[in-house]
Amino acid sequence: AHSLDSVAEAAGLTRRTFTRRFQKSIGTSFGDWLADQRIALAQRLLEATEKSMDTVAFEAGFGSATSLRQHFSARLKTSPMQYRREFSRSTGAKRPTHAAMF
């Protein structure tokens, strides 16, 4: 788990200073950036493995398959299962570029 407070503490900064600097250098909030990173990891797992949705959700940091589905729906306008069907390497489908997805 990567909470804002734990990351700020690891960086040796207050939460407020970390938030301000992160936003200035990355261009987005820590929470949005972290969700994007988790979605990207889930995409790779869905493309390259046959792991269950619960396992993919846990390994990507979502905690539950329900949370994974909610984030996929909000950010990618599809479900994890549909994404797997379309982009799984076992089906030979091509993976979209990240630029096209964000």
pLDDT tens digits in sequence order for the chain, 102 residues long:
789 999 999 999 999 999 999 999 999 999 999 999 999 999 999 999 999 999 999 999 999 999 999 999 999 999 999 999 999 987 554 555 444 454
In the prediction, which pLDDT does 2 show?
Answer: 83
- Determine, yes or no, domain membership for 20: no
Residue 100 CA to residue 8 CA, distance in Å, equals 31
Which pLDDT belongs to residue 92?
52
Structural domains in the chain (count): 1
Q: Give the model's pLDDT for residue 99.
A: 45
Three-state DSSP at 27 gives coil
Q: What is the pLDDT of residue 27?
A: 97
Q: Residue 49: which domain range?
A: 32-101
> Would residue 3 count as lying in a domain?
no
Q: Write the CATH number for 81.
A: 1.10.10.60
